[in-house]
Copies of this chain bind each other. A is one copy, B any other.
Amino acid sequence: MSAPTDLSAAHGAIATPEVTTPAAPTDDHASAPERGAPRVDVPALESLLLGRWAPERRKARGAACDDRYVRVDGLTMDEHRERVFGQLGLLVEEGHVLRAFPTRLGGADMPGGNIAAFEELAAADLSLQIKSGVQWGLFGAAILHLGTPEQQDRLLPGAMSLAVPGAFAMTETGHGSDVASIATTATYDPETGEFDLHTPFRGAWKDYLGNAGKDGVAATVFAQLVTAGVNHGVHCFYVPIREVGDDGRAGAFLPGVGGEDDGLKGGLNGIDNGRLHFTHVRVPRENLLARYGTVAADGTYASSIESPGRRFFTMLGSLVQGRVSLDGASSVVSKMALAIAVRYGNERRQFAGAGLDEVVLLDYGRHQRRLIPRIAETYAMSFAHDRLLDLFDAVFSGEHDDAETREELETMAAALKSTSTWFTMDTLQEVREACGGAGFLAQNRVTQLRHDFDIYTTFEGDNNVLLQLVGKRLLTEYGKQFKGISAGGMARYVVDRAADLALHGTPLHRAVQTVVDGGSARRAAGHLRDEATQRELLTYRVEAAVAELAGALRSASKLSPQEAFDLFNAHQNELITVARAHGQLLKWEAFTQTLAGVEDEGTRQVLTWARDLFGLSLVERELGWYLVNGRLSAQRARTVTSYIDRLVGRLRPHAQDLVDAFGYGPEHLRAEVATGNEKARQDEARAYLADLVASGDAPVSEKSLQRSKRG
Q: Are B7 and A468 in contact (CB under 8 A)?
A: yes
A633 to chain B, nearest CB (A): 9
- Asked if residues B573 and A469 are in contact (CB atoms below 8 Å), the reply is no
Write out the residue numbers on chain B whose beta carbons fall within 8 Å of the beta carbon of A168. Answer: 1
**Additional A-B contact list (4), CB under 8 Å, known A230-B700, A266-B432, A354-B562:** A201-B685, A231-B701, A308-B701, A624-B637
What is the distance, in angstroms, from A51's C-beta to the closest C-beta of chain B? 25
Mask, A227-260, CB within 8 Å of B = 1, is: 0011111100000000000000000000000000
Which residues of B lie under 8 Å from residue A5 when comparing CB positions?
177-179, 461-462, 465-466, 468-469
How far in angstroms is the closest Cβ of chain B from A379?
Answer: 22
Q: Is the CB of B433 within 8 A of A4?
A: no
Shortest Cβ gap from A358 to chain B (Å): 8
Within 8 A of B (CB), among A545-579: 553, 556-557, 560-573, 576
Contact A440 B365 (CB under 8 A): no
Tell me, in angstroms, the Cα distance from A232 to B627 when the chains sit together: 55
Question: Would A564 and B354 be within 8 Å (CB), given that A4-B312, A366-B576 are in contact?
Answer: yes
A164-B4 Cα distance, complex, nearest whole Å? 26
Contacts of A93 in B (CB 8 A): none
Knowing A231-B701, A322-B1, A681-B202, the reply to whether A447 touches B441 (Cβ < 8 A) is no
Number of this chain's copies in the complex:
2
Residues of B within 8 A of A622 (CB): 624
Give the CA-CA distance A313 to B232 in the complex, in Å. Answer: 74
Q: How far is the CB of A541 from chain B (nearest CB, A)?
A: 13
A507 interface contact, C-beta 8 A:
no
Flag A422-446 by CB within 8 Å of B: 1 or 0 each.
0001000100110011011111001
Tell yes or no: A483 within 8 A of B by CB. Answer: no
Asked if A224 lies at the interface with its beta carbon under 8 angstroms from chain B, I say yes
Q: Is A514 an interface position by the 8 A CB rule?
A: no
Verify A433–B463 contact, CB threshold 8 A: yes
Q: Is A369 an interface residue (CB 8 A)?
A: yes
Would you call A322 and B3 a contact (CB within 8 A)?
A: yes
Inter-chain CA distance A358–B178, complex, in Å, is 10
A684 near B: Cβ within 8 Å? Answer: yes
User: Does chain B have a CB within 8 A of A289?
Assistant: no
Indicate if the CB atoms of A231 and B699 lie closer than 8 Å: yes
A362 to B519, CA, bound (A): 40
B-side contacts of A706, CB under 8 Å: 308
Are the C-beta atoms of A461 and B266 separated by less than 8 Å?
A: no
With an 8 Å Cβ cutoff, the count of chain A residues facing the other chain is: 156
The residue in chain B whose Cβ has the minimal distance to the Cβ of A476 is B12
Binds B, one of A41-49, A118-126, A207-215, A493-501: A207-215
Chain B residues with Cβ under 8 A from A460's Cβ? 1-3
Question: Contact: A173 with B681, CB < 8 Å?
Answer: yes
Decide if A10 is an interface residue (CB 8 Å cutoff): yes
A177, B350: Cβ atoms closer than 8 Å? yes
Cβ A688 vs Cβ B425 within 8 A:
no
Contact A702 B73 (CB under 8 A): no
| Contact in complex: A571, B624 (CB < 8 Å) | no
Complex: how many Å from CA A573 to CA B368? 9
Instruction: Establish whether residues B685 and A354, one from each chain, have CB atoms under 8 Å apart when the complex forms.
Output: no
Contact B645 A634 (CB under 8 A): no
Given A323-B3, A448-B266, A560-B354, verify A312-B458 contact (CB < 8 Å).
no
Instruction: Chain B residues near A363: list those with CB within 8 A.
Output: 569
Residue of B nearest to A570 (CB): B365
A158 contacts the other chain (CB 8 A): no
CB proximity of A292 to chain B, nearest CB, Å: 13
A428 to chain B, nearest CB (A): 10
Interface-facing stretch out of A13-21, A81-89, A392-400, A583-591: A13-21
Cα separation A466 to B624 with both chains bound (whole Å): 28
Assess whether B561 is in contact with A16, with CB atoms less than 8 Å apart: no
Q: With A and B bound together, what is the CA distance between A700 and B563 in angstroms?
A: 27
Cα distance A436–B442 in the bound complex, in angstroms: 26
11 A-B contacts, Cβ less than 8 Å apart?
A: A2-B179, A3-B323, A7-B178, A11-B564, A203-B681, A233-B702, A265-B440, A267-B440, A354-B561, A365-B572, A623-B623
- Measured CB to CB, the closest approach of chain B to A401, in angstroms, equals 19
Instruction: Give 1 or 0 for each of A308-330: 1 = CB within 8 Å of chain B CB.
Output: 11001100110100110000000
Chain A, 636-671, contact with B by CB distance < 8 Å: what is the 0/1 string? 011000000100000000000000000000000000
